[in-house]
Structure 1
Amino acid sequence: MESDKKRDKNNHRERLRQRFENGGLSSLADHEIVELLLTLGYPRKDCKPQAHEAIRRFKNLKGVLEAPKEELLKIEGMGERSTIALRLIRDVSQRLVRDKTINSGACYSNPDDVYDFLKVAIASRPKEIFKVLYLDNRNRLLEEKTLFEGTVNRSAVYPREAMEDALRQHSTAMIFAHNHPSGSLEPSPEDKNLTRTLVFAAIFMQLKILDHLIITQRGYYSFAEHGLIERWESEYIRLNIPGS
């Protein structure tokens, strides 16, 4: 009886692999994709119950891949190796999209494009991630970099380092973005103070800040669209800071 169960489990897993091999992801339901991923961590374990429960809790494949590790581990039978497999496939896919985007010479001239590019990477993360896009003089993406993870404030993000990185990348413009794990789209006083400091530092270095986005699952807040970038640029000129 035990050997029959083991044989059925192995046959089921092999059928999933064959369906993926022959028809790709479109041939599998979301729970089957999750199950196949979980077998990477536990090649001899029946992962079907955990896959079904993950889809029940997080609704779909996207929800499972974006779920925090702590929430995944609440599923009975879900171990550390399983969460590593899920996070690995998520991060590898994000890296692939990032590298393809950079190599394609994609342009980022409006916040919708930036939001689409960064939403999957940071919108649902449980802590704040502060990113920068380095652009050339035609707004083509040269590099995307994480500057900080934690609570965003002026002591955590160093404007000088961001500007020096821009010069190393031969970048002329930058777009900053960070998420709000709370889901709020309102910029905090620290968000505004930091962005003002970055705008001032960029002008001093003869660089341009195009925008700073706050990104959540339900949308984004654009400092440029709300006129704040232009306001701080004008303020810098009025202050007539020496050396600028």
Structure 2
Amino acid sequence: MSDDEAKSTGLSEAVAKPHYLGHRERARERFNLLGGEGLADYELLELLLHMALPQRDTKALAKDLLARFGSISEVLGAPAARLAETKGLGETSITHLKVMQAVAQRYGRDKIDVEKPILSSWTQLIDYCHSAMAYESVEQFRILFLDKKNRLIADEVQQIGTVDHTPVYPREVIRRTLELSATALILVHNHPSGDPTPSAADVRMTKEISEIAKPMGITVHDHIIIGRSGHASLRGLKLL
């Protein structure tokens, strides 16, 4: 091969391999060696986006998303309509992100051992509720139904409301509890504002449910409020 041919071949290879592939490969290698802790948030998100957009340089897109939403959790939890406002994200890539959010939530739920009393897996429970609800844009009211040994029977979102209110009907809560033959409840809802401090309405609703439940042999263990900055327990605050 002549020098000119060699130069031509080298130039063709350089043109054929986009500049971002080297960075992506190095990030992938660090991930395989060190795990997620070895990568910056934008690098993790870049690798995730690469699965949906393999022919694209996703580094800039990852940084744009983090700048807009604040964290990987908030990117995954963002409504599809808001994600669509980001240049470079289409229907397929948005679906990919929402699938990853669902996988993360399922992983958190599966870490809760349903064969053990849920009160002994409190940290895992809080982590699961946080991943499932902390970054939702509207309020959700969730109930964990427990059996007489405090094992999880069902985990259900009962109501979805607005940015600052979810309608809760105590008698419907009790009706569903009886349908499932549950004997204890943990109530959970999120505050999209990010602040988990319970409101007067939160306390009032919790007491109303508890007062209806108690004569029927149903225990309300707690009402947990989830926010981006953490969580609040009405039991821990002595409000229940």
Fold equivalence (TM over 0.5): yes
The counterpart of 1:39, out of the listed 13, 36, 50, is 50
What is the TM-score normalised by the length of structure 1? 0.73
1:64 aligns with 2:75: yes
Bigger mean CA deviation after superposition, 203-212 or 162-171 = 162-171
> How far apart in 2 are the matches of 1:27 and 1:55?
18
Alignment-derived partner of residue 148 in structure 2? 137
What is the TM-score normalised by the length of structure 2? 0.74
Deviation at 1:209, TM superposition (A): 0.7
The counterpart of 1:216, out of the listed 198, 206, 227, is 227
Contact 1:16 1:36 in 2 (8 A): no
**RMSD in angstroms over aligned alpha carbons?**
3.4
AA paired with 2:239? Answer: L
Alignment-derived partner of residue 131 in structure 2? 120
Deviation at 1:5, TM superposition (A): 4.5
Unpaired stretches in structure 2, ≥5 consecutive residues: 1-10
Alignment-derived partner of residue 240 in structure 1? none
In our comparison, the structure showing a higher alpha carbon Rg is 2
In structure 2, the residue corresponding to 1:148 is in which secondary structure? strand
AA paired with 2:235? Answer: A
Contact 2:142 2:187 in 1 (8 A): yes
Q: Identify if the C-alpha distance between structure 1 residues 26 and 183 changes in structure 2 by more than 3 Å, giving closer, same or farther.
A: closer
The counterpart of 2:107, out of the listed 83, 89, 96, is 96
Contact 1:19 1:27 in 2 (8 A): no
How many aligned residue pairs are there? Answer: 227
Deviation at 1:104, TM superposition (A): 5.3
In structure 2, the residue corresponding to 1:108 is in which secondary structure? helix
The counterpart of 2:202, out of the listed 191, 195, 203, is 191
> How far apart in 1 are the matches of 2:178 and 2:12?
64
AA paired with 2:17? Answer: R
The counterpart of 1:8, out of the listed 12, 18, 25, is 18
Q: Identify if the C-alpha distance between structure 1 residues 210 and 39 changes in structure 2 by more than 3 Å, giving closer, same or farther.
A: same
1:53 aligns with 2:43: no
